[in-house]
Chains A and B, each alone.
Chain A
Amino acid sequence: MANNRGFWASVFLALLLRLVLIFFSKKLNLGSRPEIATPLTSLRRLAEGYWLKQSSMSPYAGSMYHGSPLLLSILGPLTVQSVEVQTNHIKCSLMFVIADFITAMLIRATGQKLQLAYSQSLRSLDLLKLLETSKIVTAGDVAALVYLWNPLTIVTCVGSATSPIENLMVVLSLYGACSRIAPLAAFGWVVATHLSLYPAILIVPVILLLGYGSDSPPKKLFCLRNSSTSGSDPSNYSHDQSSGVTSQPGLPIHSFTWKPVVHFILWASIWSFYVLILCSISLNQYGGLYEMFQKTHGFILTVEDLSPNIGVLWYFFAEVFDFFRIFFLIVFHVNILFMLLPLAIRLNHRPFFLAFVYVAISSMLKSYPSVGDTALYLGLLGLFVNELADMHFSFFLFCGYVGVGLLSPVMHNLWIWRGTGNANFYFATAIAYALLQIILVVESVGAMLNHDRMLRKHLST
């Protein structure tokens, strides 16, 4: 109980810190940092789009706004400034604080569900000793606090980029999938895809979550368990796998259930239809849906804006010969898609972890990455604090993130503001950052696979 009170206190403190920082946000001027506000998420561009719409022009006229028209309708009126008092989007920032809070709560709820499923499956595998011997922390609380106290989340929230809302939608979709509420999952997925395109790949883990239920040890462990309880030799369990999957009573062998998946697909089509209708209503007099897709998703796919960000693609496309541009565009985007299938095959028993890996990969390879995306996957990483306890390089990664987080603004300042540095310095930090993310993804996947092996070893001994 005391632990719970501590949790709420720190949640409250995190929110308070945000409010205090928002009060000083004009001094901090975080909204124009390239690390925080990308062309897609910048609130300044949103305000410009809203202004254009108010002066009866298409919000996509000019290459300023690239976000969703719905976001424009919701956040737009909040961005209007009065002449005398420069409120500086305080209302918007409050929205983002609320979004952050809801995200954290959803992460917490998801974590509790995951933990329940985890201990349940361990119990069913008779590995309760594992539960008792090792110190199990409440992953949901940890993840929620990691999300809330992550400096990257805080600067994103204070800097008034719209990424908290995108993150909220992603987490909402995952939460819906975890608790098997197909309409919620579909809503989150549709809106997240509409906002930033990349969450589209989350359809794989969401369907797996809905079909199989939340993360559990590999199926063959259950088979192994079954075969050992039925008294046969573990060495020829494969024989049993083919025959005895459904037969054994008492052990929860997750088979794919189609009903929630069909529900999800149905709901997803309904929601996407609904979102498209809303968009076309709000863009009625202007270019319509075609212009919207061209200016939002098209803008994401054809990396048009070459302003520096923490990714590597801006410099690449600023330097690459025009002749090869399309080729490399295809290569970079296909790189995200390429890994989907192998990961889905290997991690299909852990769909939520799969979702985390997808989020991490897309935030690493996306056209306009920002620290808001990083904040999301770092928060989700907290959910696997038990499974990934023996991950390699975690200290190195932590130091790397801190180092890059400190160096990158310095290099940017040297290059852009002082003119003493060079684009290469900043690009070097971007490369280092990309490498760190790669190591994080690879090591976490490796650690998860090792965890499964460990479980298997426990089971077989």
Chain B
Amino acid sequence: MASRSSILLFCFYFFFFFLISHCFIVPIYAESNEEQGEEEEFSEELLLKPLPDRKVLAHFHFDSRTPPTNTYGRHHRLFPKAIYQLVKKFHIREMELSFTQGRWNYERWGGFDPISSSNAKPPGVELWAVFDVPFDQVDATWKNLTHALSGLFCASINFLESSTAYSAPSWGFRSHSSSLRYGALPTEAVCTENLTPWLKLLPCRDKAGLAAIMDRPSIYKGYYHSQRLRLASTESSSDEGKGTGIVLEQTLTVVFQPSVQRASSAYSGDRLLQPSWSIGSLFRRKVTGCCVLAKSSRVFLELERDLIAEIDKFEMENGIFGVDGMVSEGSWNNTSFELSVLPDKLIRDANGLHDRSSSVLYEFSVEKYSDSVPLNVGITWKLPVFWLCHQAPFHASRFLMGSGNERGSIAISLKSTQSHEGFLGHEVASSLTNSNGCSVRSIVFQVVPWYVKVYYHTLQIFIDGQPHAVTDVIEKIHVSPSEDKMSPGMLEVVLTFPCTMQSATLTIDFDKGFLHIDEYPPDANRGFDIPSALISFPDFEASGNFLKDNPSKSRLLFKLQEKRLVQSYTEVLLVPLTTPDFSMPYNVITFTCTVLALYFGSLLNILRRRVGEEERFLKSQAAMKLGLIPQLLAKFSAKLRLKQQGPPQPMQQSSTFGPKLLFKVILVAAVAVGWHLYFK
């Protein structure tokens, strides 16, 4: 008996072990068999870049992806489960959520590079999503998604649930998609409570790896920070056996002003030097090793093309060539600047125009560094360099015109930055130049809340200050006008401008709406925000070309490589709206009702009033009509009430009303009894 049970137990144990070992070993096999695309991956990268106006851009890029397999069932090693469930539940094909504070300065920080066109976001929260659900369920799914995200990121994204807050752009925002929803909350304040849940999605959180250097005070001290989360599911819905492959891309873009502390340079014009900085001075922390779960962990330092050109020019004058520099004492030395850490690799942009220099990326691998030897990438300038960033063909800005709280107009102004002339000489020109000469297209996508009642027929276009016929300039327009308390207004328009144009202005008039007292926010007199308009230039694509030198398959470089439309967001507008007196509801109700009562009462009074003569006549008529029996009754009652000895006139009156009164009393009593019986 005992032996049998022990055998059973042994069998069980063996089976259990087999199961466990199978579970563990099989994935390893699988891993080794199919190297790519069948494994969850996580990579972390950081891009640092000096900006022309003495600021520094830091761009964190975390990329997690799960392959479209059921290898782990519903379990994930690296990929955040919350996101996986989100995608599963709401059938998200693509989604992007960004929290931004501050405004990206397109003039100084660039408007033509991949970073600015994909990572510069409007202030506040912006969310868009493409769903993989039937058309009629898109809105419901969107509403649920906003609530889920709101819980996930501790933000009031659920305000986007209301149909007045989101819109369904048809082609102005992204390429044609019927199941795209777009919403923005410009007033949303972004702070650490949004960053913490965002960091929680990383496998190492902010305990190790690049995320560990995110020192909250230094990040929020920056001029601009934008934390972004982008999801793309790569599933093929026909393939039922496979699950959903999801790519989760988390980026944090920060613009710092490095403090100028080190004045070590002997150069006379010391103040003209760009500020020198390092990771340690920017974040007050150093990179102390990678997240062990990350497949790759790298830091890049990018020097822009125009900066390199400037340096090259300078060095050409001095007879030295190249930015390659020389290695000295563990640092990268050059005539114009010095890198504090020796880069592992130098990557050149293959996209650069032949006659100009191309931008340069210095790559630093974090794997080599540890607590004892932290990575502290920094740059020390030796020579003063000035350069201009690469700008979008037009600088877009938006402003309000008019005064008072009744109406106004929105103006979107596009100023030529002259930079597109160069591009037109190359690949773009061929597609653009037609019989009339070349032209530049731009798409304006603008959502306005319903209380800004836009008159679309007042759309006017001024080119170089001269009014132009709207039909000449507008190639395509799509308007979905706002419904009061139902949906926001949306304007999507493709404009075609001549290349020689210096400035263009679009104006459109609006009336300010008047809201119900409950619809005002607590700070009603602050005004209401109109979300940023998005101006994109479909003829221009921003992309780097680092792929040639990208054997390491850096996700960030892939991302920079992607062809993206050049686009820029305009300012958020603050529209003051008239407020009623919030303390007045009762007064208004009582006043208005009094007026109505006055009308009703006095008119009715006039209608039923009779002058004395008519009164007497009616009375005599009534007396005559009474007939014999009532008269007898009246006499009888008069006799009965003889004791009262009143004047005859009122007595008669009372007597005439006697039977009526009696009848009324009886009627009321009968009704009361009936009522009582009925409800018993």
Contacts and interface: CB of A to CB of B under 8 A. Distances in A.
A426 B414 CA distance: 40
Given A47-B455, A64-B453, A64-B455, 15 more contacts: A48-B455, A83-B468, A83-B470, A305-B484, A306-B513, A312-B591, A315-B580, A319-B517, A338-B600, A415-B578, A416-B404, A423-B578, A435-B598, A438-B602, A441-B603
Contacts of A298: none
A55 B479 contact: yes
Interface in B476-532: 477, 479-486, 489, 511, 513-518
Q: Which 4 A-B pairs have the closest CB atoms?
A: A62-B481, A51-B457, A63-B484, A417-B404
B407 interface: yes
B604 A342 contact: yes
Contacts of B581: 422-424
Given A52-B456, A438-B598, A431 B591 contact: yes
A16 interface: no
Given A315-B588, A335-B600, A442-B602, A304 B484 contact: yes
Contacts of A34: 406
A442 B603 contact: yes
Contacts of A365: 599
A252 to B, nearest CB: 24
Contacts of B608: 342
Contact of B405 (A51, A343, A416, A438): A416
30 contacts: A34-B406, A44-B455, A47-B457, A48-B457, A50-B457, A52-B479, A61-B481, A62-B480, A62-B483, A63-B483, A64-B453, A64-B481, A83-B467, A235-B620, A305-B514, A307-B511, A308-B514, A312-B592, A315-B580, A315-B588, A317-B516, A318-B514, A322-B516, A335-B599, A338-B600, A342-B608, A416-B406, A427-B588, A441-B599, A442-B602
A319 to B, nearest CB: 4
Interface stretch (A113-121, A180-188, A445-453): A445-453
A19 interface: no
Contacts of A62: 480-483, 489
Main secondary structure of the interface of B (DSSP, over half): mixed
Given A47-B457, A424-B584, A445 B606 contact: yes
A321 to B, nearest CB: 7
B677 interface: no
A281 B305 CA distance: 62
A183 B258 CA distance: 85
Contacts, number: 151
B611 interface: yes
A282 interface: no
A339 interface: yes
Interface in A314-346: 314-322, 331-332, 335, 338-339, 342-343, 346
A291 to B, nearest CB: 12
Contacts of A446: 606
B513 to A, nearest CB: 7
A84 interface: yes
B518 A57 contact: no
B28 interface: no
B662 interface: no
B263 interface: no
A224 to B, nearest CB: 11
B237 interface: no
A32 B407 contact: yes
B659 interface: no
Interface string A226-239: 00000000010010
Contacts of B484: 63, 304-305
With a 10 A CB-CB cut-off, give which of B405, B486, B604, B606 has the most chain A CB atoms: B606
Contacts of A431: 591-592, 595
B403 interface: yes
A434 interface: yes
Interface of B: 403-407, 450, 453, 455-457, 467-470, 477, 479-486, 489, 511, 513-518, 578-581, 584-585, 588-589, 591-592, 595-596, 598-600, 602-604, 606-608, 611, 614, 620-621
B457 A416 contact: no
A364 interface: yes
A332 B597 CA distance: 11
A419 interface: yes
Contact of B595 (A55, A312, A320): A312
Nearest to A450: B611
Contacts of A364: 599
A445 B483 contact: no
Given A307-B513, A422-B581, A423-B578, A434 B595 contact: yes
A380 B489 CA distance: 43
A306 B595 contact: no
B456 A48 contact: yes
A238 B621 contact: yes
Contact of B456 (A51, A312, A319, A449): A51
A84 B467 CA distance: 7
A313 B516 CA distance: 12
Contacts of B599: 335, 364-365, 434, 438, 441-442
Contacts of B481: 52, 57, 61-64
A424 B582 CA distance: 10
A218 B611 CA distance: 16
Contact of B603 (A315, A318, A445): A445
A319 B580 contact: yes
Given A83-B467, A445-B607, A339 B514 contact: no
Interface string A5-46: 000000000000000000000000000101000000000110
Nearest to B517: A319
A296 to B, nearest CB: 14
Contacts of A441: 599, 603
A106 to B, nearest CB: 28
B607 A416 contact: no
A427 B589 CA distance: 12
Contacts of A306: 513-516
B582 to A, nearest CB: 9
Nearest to B407: A32
A279 B449 CA distance: 31
B405 A417 contact: yes
B405 A83 contact: no
A305 B483 CA distance: 11
Contact of A339 (B450, B518, B592, B600): B600
Interface string A95-116: 0000000000000000000000
Contacts of A51: 456-457
B27 to A, nearest CB: 56
Contacts of A304: 484-485
A119 B591 CA distance: 44
A449 B603 CA distance: 12
Nearest to A418: B404
Contacts of B407: 32
Nearest to B605: A442
A338 B599 CA distance: 11
Contact of B596 (A45, A315, A332, A449): A332
Nearest to A51: B457
Contacts of A32: 406-407
Contact of A316 (B483, B589, B606, B614): B589
B408 to A, nearest CB: 12
A190 B456 CA distance: 32
B265 to A, nearest CB: 55
Nearest to A52: B481
A423 B577 CA distance: 12
Contacts of B584: 319, 423-424
B596 A335 contact: yes
B285 to A, nearest CB: 49
B580 A346 contact: no
Contacts of B517: 318-319
A419 B405 CA distance: 8
A322 B482 contact: no
Contacts of A307: 511, 513-514
Interface in A249-308: 304-308
